[in-house]
Amino acid sequence: MTANWKKATAALILALALAQPAAAEESWRADFEATCSKTDQAMTMSVQELRDLLAKCEALQKVIEVQEDSLRKVYLKRLALCRNLYAYMLEYKQNDAK
C-alpha cells in the first residue's frame, strides 16, 4: 500500500510539473492576443494607451524569446508587426500634438 501511495504521489507531482508550463504558455498567449488584437483601434487610442501597449509588447518579447524555436520566430514576427504599428501611431500623435 505504501509503494502504491508513493507512486501515485510521484505521478501527481510529475503531472503538476508538466501542467505548469502549459498554463504559463497559455497566459502569455492570452496576453499576446489581447495586446495585438487592438491594432484596428490604434488610430483612436490616446498617447498613454499606445505607450501602455508598447510596454506590454516589450514584456511579451522577453517571454517569447525563451520559447521553442519555431514558436519564437512566428510570435516575434507577429509581435514586431503590432509593436511597429503602435510605435508609428504614437510618433504620429506626438508630432501632431506639436
* Domain-wise residue ranges, the chain: 2-97
- At residue 98, the pLDDT reads 72
What is the C-alpha to C-alpha distance for residues 92 and 9, in angstroms, rounded to an integer?
Answer: 58
What is the C-alpha to C-alpha distance for residues 42 and 76, in angstroms, rounded to an integer?
Answer: 20
Report which secondary-structure segment, H or E, holds 91. Answer: helix 69-97
- At residue 21, the pLDDT reads 53
Task: Read off the pTM.
Answer: 0.73
- At residue 96, the pLDDT reads 87
Mean pLDDT split into 10-residue runs, the chain, 98 residues: 62 50 72 96 97 98 96 97 98 89
